[in-house]
Structure 1
């Protein structure tokens, strides 16, 4: 490793479902290598997916190949068996990864949609022939969402402004159309993952990607007694408070999270209503960071498990 860290400017842009990490020297942010890709000291494998750099038993070798750890469990998904660390696409809208028995998926459809006209809170989405992802209709807008001047609009919260697509402050007296997408599904079906959304609620009024930590349910079945069956609207609380862990960092205080159960009739149970709270984390190197965390309020069941 170099004595002084010299890193390229900016944050690296990683593929869908891949989050940047520090290189093996702890210097620069890099995109972790995926299954069967080349790896070395400066290009580590994606540990969040159970991968490690395999040098083939050659001592002193500088190059290796990312392989799944021997103790990683396979995943059964969409009537198929996938190896630990394997990346696959069950449909044209999602890319999934098998992570030690749990499947995590991210959307391949762009979150940065065209801004609808002012007062159109629910623009119609239409399917375009030859394209997988839906597009926003250029002129169609629900009649019930026509723009209305409402007294006391300044008292609305940021989420209300986003839902109603009204004007949000953008600094120096400038206002812009508030545009915020829904949070994406959690990247992991169990354990700690991430979800993202796009919002322009900032001083520059620019669409930026926001990330929050999420956990739909724990991977260990004995951590909490979760409901099974058709009724899953009420989330279950963890048996005891615990600190949150993510990417080598732990929360400063303990939380008693709520989780969604699992349907026993073939349906999938997922969060329906959630809150997002700022939580302070302390990392291995001692730095304290603030991360947004999802808090489940209610759950729902459906049969569209593959997205």
Structure 2
């Protein structure tokens, strides 16, 4: 059966939940009893954490102190820059705290399927030939990069980061001061049958995938 490439996604059509420079009210909101006051997913303003059953976005994040996370299944953006959040207790107080960073998802202007070699079912890593600038809410990175993206498969396998680090990227806005954000920088990916939810706080407790599942 011949593979039919999916239409490319237009990054400009995605909802932009964060705007920079930050514009916050003069005083933080007063949250109901038992609801955590946290920094929003844009790392801008204080907000009352979303609770079970509330709508959540990249900006309106869930209560980390109750172990809640936002389920993006069905509407999670598949390309462009997004915001990744996690809960960690690696701090001096050993207290659950929310951490966030930008993650460079698959590029919107390239169909990675077309780069899969003949006879192969997966392309684990895709890297564009030309350097590019990151764009976030109308602001552009002050330098260009050649990021690596996790690729795709033509079967049921998913490609996820295997080795990565966090880098600091500076942005300049056309009508305001610049800012810096932590960004996920992918070094290597592997493709396997275990398609984990990237927002699952218990995902790291899963067993490591069998070698037979990994695509070269």
Taking structure 2 as the reference length, what is the TM-score of the superposition? 0.54
| CA 1:95–1:204: 2 relative to 1, 3 Å | closer
Q: Residue 58 of structure 2 is aligned with which of 6, 14, 19?
A: 19
User: Offset at 1:201?
Assistant: 5.2
Give the equivalent residue in structure 1 for 2:101: 212
Which ranges of structure 1 fall in alignment gaps of 5 or more residues?
21-30, 32-92, 105-187
Contact between 2:112 and 2:152, CA under 8 Å: does it hold in 1? no
Contact between 2:58 and 2:83, CA under 8 Å: does it hold in 1? no
Give the equivalent residue in structure 2 for 1:289: 179
- Alignment of 1:302 with 2:192, yes or no, is yes
User: Offset at 1:204?
Assistant: 6.1
Contact between 2:157 and 2:193, CA under 8 Å: does it hold in 1? yes
Give the equivalent residue in structure 2 for 1:198: 87
SS of the equivalent of 1:277 reads strand
Q: How does 1:204-283 map to 2 (within 5 A)?
A: 206-222=95-111, 226-227=115-116, 229-233=120-124, 235-283=125-173
Q: How does 1:1-307 map to 2 (within 5 A)?
A: 7=25, 9-10=27-28, 11-13=46-48, 15=50, 17-20=56-59, 95-96=71-72, 103-104=75-76, 188-200=77-89, 206-222=95-111, 226-227=115-116, 229-233=120-124, 235-305=125-195, 307=197
Q: Which is bigger in relative contact order (C-alpha 8 A, separation at least 6)?
A: 2
Taking structure 1 as the reference length, what is the TM-score of the superposition? 0.40
Contact between 1:193 and 1:213, CA under 8 Å: does it hold in 2? yes
More strand by share: 1
| Greater Rg by CA | 1
- Which digits, 9 at most, give the CA deviation of each residue in 1:270-299, with x for residues without a partner? 222111001111224321211001111111
Count of equivalent residues: 146
Contact between 2:149 and 2:186, CA under 8 Å: does it hold in 1? yes
- RMSD of aligned residue pairs (Cα, Å): 3.5
Which ranges of structure 2 fall in alignment gaps of 5 or more residues?
1-22, 29-45, 61-68, 198-216
